[in-house]
Structure 1
Amino acid sequence: MFYEVKRAMVVLMSATTDTSPTAAPTPTPTPPAVSAPHAHRASARSRPALGWRVRFAALALIWGFSFLLIKVGTHGFAPFQVTFGRLFFGTAVLAVAIAVKRERLPRSARTWGHLAVAAFLLNALPFSLFAYAELTIPSTLAGICNATSPLWGMLLSLVALSEDRPTRRRVAGLGIGFLGVLTVLGAWQGFSGLDLRGTGMALLASLSYPIGWIYVRRTLAGSGSSHLSLTGAQLFLGTLQLAVVTPLFTTLPTSFPVGPLLAVVVLGALGTGLAILIQYGIVAEVGPTTGQMVTYFIPVIAAAAGVTLLGERLDWNTPVGALVVLAGAALTQSRARRPGAAK
């Protein structure tokens, strides 16, 4: 779920500039000279209280535990209700951040229209699919299915984005990654004991994310709005979409069990709202390449949480296949070293 937000946020963070690889860098004005003590104090004020490594670890834990929270939430509420609550509380956190920073929401009707599509592809659809999937599959398997997003993304970008060229390294990564998927699913056993419907929903959710990334990249670059306002508006539109759909397919809950309710609140406020803010800060501080590495920790944490806290079964092929998937995904995201590059 969360290669989603990671990659989408990186795209949205560049939405106010030209994202093409040939775009010339914008010259940076030289700041006025300041004395060393003043410069030190200014740097200290701008540096976050927590180091990026601490925030990185916190982000991996938050997103890794999100699959467990979805599972717990579905014990008391319908999947659409879990997704609506998640988006509602996530939007509330971003609304506070937008108000504190006095950001302006997008004004263009065109931008809002594109954000509505992005909200469906990156939030409403995949969040709902994961919630429905976890009715019948373990949270550990859902977390591993989520790790296939980089593979789907690379495959789609080779087709849809002209600047992404197939290379031996990327093709090898795709092959290795999908071999890992077959290992996780136990293909040599004829997928025996596997809930195909739930697993298919989780894989479809993972596929929805890169489709959304490509759409955002093609439509929202150069919108002129800040990344925070764009993401806040996107989550708001996703909440509206679930507010319309949920009453059509569910009935009002007759009770609000504490455990599932807390799971939904935490999933939204921390797993969606706060996590987005943390990820923005990390990407802004250390760059998207390092920020995206959080993806490779999520399935490990999701599996550990599911096994230790929910008592889910973990056969040998699941962790082995997950490692193969992550290795393939890492290979598709890597770049070959240029000849003569500094070591």
Structure 2
Amino acid sequence: MPPAAPPPWLKAAPALFLLLWSSGFVVLKVGLAYADPMTFLALRYACVVVILAPVLLLVRPPMPRGASVWGHLAMVGLLLQAGYFCFTYLSLKQGMSAGGIALITSLQPILIGLLAPAIAHEQVDARRWAGLGLGVSGAALVIVAKASIDVLSPLGLLFAVCALLCITGGTLYEKRFGTQTHPVASNLVQYAVGLAVTAPLAFWLEPMRIEWTGPLWASLAYLVVGNSLVAITLLLTMIRHGEASRVSALFFLVPPCTAIIALAILDEPIPPLAWPGMALAAIGILLVTRARPASPR
């Protein structure tokens, strides 16, 4: 079947996705002060499933047909929801600094550019490669300026690399095998897979500490609605209707956006070195996402 036409709101999706995804790191920092990491992640996924299940019964969207479609949805959930977030939290638990994880996972657009021609049948030209290089340089400058990149544990480094591979694999898998499934049905399948993985890990690895405070509830509500429901839906829709290498390049702007939001909400200062990094990342994004000039006839 030919791909469905892009929805009209897709033009606003990159800016909204960046705002929600970047602010999620700041909000997560608040929530993790009151709960163990894997326990908080499992609680987040459980809330998403509890919200989506009655919505599914009320809306009654078309359900996926065929075992292959169910399998594709489950695989995206395994790579993105279970793999990426679990390995990120486990890397933190093993002593990897947040700056170190951010620096490693910011290499995702480079991997996408290398693998997209073979897996997603996309061509990455010289201009886009230049943009990818500027983007990763700018993101690295912001990260180095904002945080330590110490590697305290080889296992933590391994988990960070696994997180990078999972989000890269999930992006390419969605682009290669993604289906036009209703977002309520697809999200419910993917987050159920994430919950099935994270809940046993939380029980096994942690005392499952949760302090039921106002800031925890606020953090949880924002991550469930803003990140798990809206931001992930925007990301998967952008991947489905665009080129994976262009969409993944948005992640170069996550460290700069997070730094600005942390300044506004948590009063965290932005070091002078971070500002040229933000400019480099923005220029890189312009080069990657700018439409190709029409070829003369």
User: Could you say whether these structures have the same fold, taking a TM-score greater than 0.5 normalized by the shorter chain as the test?
Assistant: yes
Which residue, 144, 150, 153 being the options, matches 1:195?
150
- Matched AA of 2:109: P
Residue 178 of structure 1 aligns with which residue?
Answer: 136
Gaps of 5+ in 1: 1-16, 20-24, 27-46
**CA distance in 2 between partners of 1:184 and 1:155 (Å):** 24
Of 64, 74, 91 in structure 1, the residue corresponding to residue 22 of structure 2 is 64
TM-score w.r.t. structure 1 length? 0.65
8 Å contact from structure 1 (residues 144, 322) kept in 2: no
Instruction: Decide which of 66, 71, 82 is 2:40's aligned counterpart.
Output: 82
Taking structure 2 as the reference length, what is the TM-score of the superposition?
0.74
Structure-1 residue corresponding to 2:175: 217
Q: Could you tell me whether the CA contact under 8 Å between 2:142 and 2:275 is conserved in 1?
A: yes
Aligned 8 A contact 2:103 2:143 in 1: no
Confirm whether residue 154 of structure 1 aligns to residue 110 of structure 2.
no
Q: Does structure 1 conserve the Cα–Cα contact (< 8 Å) formed by 2:81 and 2:191?
A: yes
Cα distance in structure 1, aligned partners of 2:275 and 2:190: 34
> Is the CA contact 2:101–2:160 (under 8 Å) kept in the aligned structure 1?
yes
> Alpha-carbon deviations, 1:232-267, whole Å to 9, x = none?
211221122212222111123264333224312321
**How far is the alpha carbon of 1:74 from its aligned partner?**
1.3
Q: Partner of 1:305 in structure 2?
A: 261
Structure 1 residues 139 and 249 mapped into 2: Cα distance closer, same or farther (>3 Å)?
Answer: closer
CA distance in 2, matches of 1:58, 1:328: 19
Structure 1 match to 2:192: 236
Task: Return closer, same or farther for 1:152/1:310 CA change in 2, 3 Å cut-off.
Answer: farther
Moved more, 199-208 or 118-127: 199-208
Q: What's the offset of the Cα at 1:121? A: 1.2
CA contact (8 A) 1:90 1:274 kept: no
SS in 2 for 1:211: helix
Among 207, 210, 217, which residue is 1:251 paired with? 207
Shift in Å at residue 67 of structure 1? 0.6
Which consecutive unaligned segments of at least 5 residues does structure 2 have? Answer: none
Larger-gyration structure (1/2): 1
Secondary structure of 1:196's aligned partner: coil
Instruction: Quote the Cα distance in structure 1 between the aligned partners of 2:188 and 2:83.
Output: 17
Change (3 A) 1:257 1:108: same
**1:128 to 2:86 alignment:** yes
CA contact (8 A) 2:37 2:89 kept: yes
In the alignment, which residue of structure 2 is the partner of 1:321?
277
Whether 1:113 and 2:71 are equivalent positions in the alignment is: yes
CA distance in structure 2 between the aligned counterparts of 1:304 and 1:139, rounded to whole angstroms: 16
- Distance in 1 (alpha carbons) for counterparts of 2:34 and 2:75: 29
CA distance in 1, matches of 2:107, 2:136: 8
Q: CA deviation at 1:229?
A: 1.7
**Mapped contact 1:70–1:82 kept (Cα < 8 A):** no
Distance across 1 between alignment mates of 2:267 and 2:64: 45
Q: Note closer, same or farther for the CA distance 1:175–1:214 as it changes in structure 2 (3 Å cut).
A: same
Counterpart-to-counterpart distance in 2, 1:311 and 1:114:
42
The alignment's C-alpha RMSD in Å is: 4.2
Which residue does 1:4 correspond to in 2? Answer: none
Q: Does the aligned pair in 2 maintain the 1:145–1:202 contact within 8 Å? A: yes
Q: Say whether residues 1:95 and 2:59 are aligned partners.
A: no
Q: CA offsets, 1:248-293, max 9 Å, x none?
A: 111232643332243123211332114456x38x96xxx758x969
Cα distance change of structure 1 residues 297 and 173 upon mapping to structure 2, 3 Å threshold: closer
Aligned partner of 1:99: which letter? L
Residues 23 and 261, structure 2, Cα contact 8 Å, conserved in 1: yes
1:148–1:329 contact (8 Å) kept in structure 2: no
The sequence identity of aligned pairs, in percent, is 20
CA contact (8 A) 2:134 2:280 kept: yes
Distance 1:217 1:56 in 2: 17
